[in-house]
Structure 1
């Protein structure tokens, strides 16, 4: 579902190769045969190599017909395979038995319950506690692929134009795009006190951060979704 995030480590020298192999407890010969793609240790290529050597290239699927074909055409690590099939993400409710009397209370939460969760999330993040605020939340890796830099680029204009908007961004920094986003969001938080919470590190989050959000920010660049 995310062919862009391949798990990469440089293998530019024999010393780097030995270090990476020691981390994964792999013989150098095995890493060279299965894992190395060019001068890079590539975990996704390892999976493709296994299919090539042991399953005649059969067994790779994407989460949709379009994404499987697109991934095969876009990423050279898959070109040794004949194709990438599809196994669309299922919705369990599509095949589940119908209930005569579904319990709607178990499926829906009241407006006041959502407001309570929002106020708890605001308190946890140190934001201004405002039941009428629009709370936007991003939780994920801070990387180019996840699009956190796009949030940092556009959010100042959103905050300026919409005084009711608040933002929570949490997750570990993965690359330079994430590091730049962390610098920007830190500055933005200072510019809009009580409205922006930025924590560029892995953090255990209380459930209210998710249940109290009005909108989840998912600006992924290379996955088959993005909001």
Structure 2
């Protein structure tokens, strides 16, 4: 089974969010099951220099993008046992940021999609994949190109496509004129059955329409996006393709996220809450808090946006700060939330700490040092932070949506079951009530140890999910 992944980011090369973790870890799990996996990625300027220097130049060719002829280089890199093919064009990809270039984004990723297709067309027949697994809108044109513009290549006709939705909110919507120019396409593409979207064109819809199978990153999210509330105006398309849509929950790289070996953790541990408290004291000292093992610490590592429930956190903050707790936040996002928390740091000295931006090492010290981890997302396709928290024996507090609903079970003190705390309605009242409930059990050490032990029972690695993907690939290949 030969599988090619096409994605806009992947660890350990380049990362802006959870997509990179998935694309970096899943191929390794699939390889253990016998798949030969290759990941195709833009050759960004942000890729570490040492990785670029190890990469081997394979060939170069030209890509026709609208009326323009663009250079394309192809490099090969082997990292963590995974083969990467890097698509090179310095004008499009040698930039300071991965994303955020407005209408120019369609040129960048249309070029990447065309380049993937050209690599396929130029490959020897015995090197071609059985499956191309595409991720998010940046690769949504590949299934369409395979079934339309490249359909006359006999060698490519056996290839099947899987398209995974990591977050339906980001769809790659661009003006019809821009897409027609970049794709050299006519009006026949911009129909209800094509990529037309309220007068514009939609790259994610291209993946939904033309891929052989669709997946998303949790079973609950697969159901939610077929509703008006969560469907982001594509719920009709998703309901039409519901037979081909499957939810497979993400995992985490348990080798990387391991408190027994993580170099960012002061005291390595597995199940020992005493050793975990040592990391809590170290975290408190690092951020200038009073080092107090008995005072609960709640951690947040997140983008500061409405989707992640920061409107609920902002509304709840005064009530939360009345409790005997410390709150540690790492993230950045909307200016209104950044400004609020810059002011709140002065209001609650020694109680609230915020690191604006992202720091991988500090994130891991939060996972290891916090007692609880707060994720009040308004919607969450899967979520990885709650899985990392469980791995570090930190108890999640989540809203019941998407992957959070699939992975976190509310603690039931009568049955002794559950690995965290959850609430349903997206209100500040329910968030505050649930945090207070968690704090009440934290003050009962036997109960708290039971909750932590429940969270440690399940393996949140990629093995089970990789088997589901392999089964899907086999169904398609057959």
TM-score by length of 2: 0.35
Of the three residues 340, 358, 365, the one matched with 1:208 is 365
SS in 1 for 2:226: helix
1:49 and 1:123 mapped to 2: Cα distance?
A: 53
Q: Summarize the alignment of residues 1-227 of structure 1 with structure 2, pairs less than 5 Å apart.
A: 3-8=167-172, 11=174, 17=178, 27=183, 29=185, 37-38=197-198, 42=202, 44-51=204-211, 55=212, 58-61=213-216, 63-64=218-219, 66-74=220-228, 75=231, 76-81=233-238, 82-84=240-242, 85-89=245-249, 108-160=270-322, 162-163=323-324, 165-173=325-333, 178-206=334-362, 207-223=364-380, 224=402, 225=404, 227=422
Alpha-carbon distance, 1:107 to partner: 8.4
Gaps of 5+ in 2: 1-164, 253-267, 381-401, 406-421, 423-478
Query: Which structure has the larger Rg?
Result: 2
Kept in 1, the 8 Å contact 2:166–2:216? The answer is no
Residues 152/205 of structure 1: CA separation in 2 closer, same or farther (3 Å cut):
farther
Partner of residue 419, structure 2: none
SS in 1 for 2:289: coil
Kept in 1, the 8 Å contact 2:312–2:376? The answer is yes
1:12 and 1:59 mapped to 2: Cα distance?
A: 25
1:39 and 1:124 mapped to 2: Cα distance?
A: 53
1:39 and 1:123 mapped to 2: Cα distance?
A: 55
2:207 and 2:218 mapped to 1: Cα distance?
A: 16
Partner of residue 441, structure 2: none
Kept in 1, the 8 Å contact 2:332–2:338? The answer is no
Alpha-carbon distance, 1:36 to partner: 6.1
Higher strand fraction (1 or 2): 2
> How many residues align structurally?
193
Residues 13/45 of structure 1: CA separation in 2 closer, same or farther (3 Å cut):
closer
Kept in 2, the 8 Å contact 1:121–1:212? The answer is yes
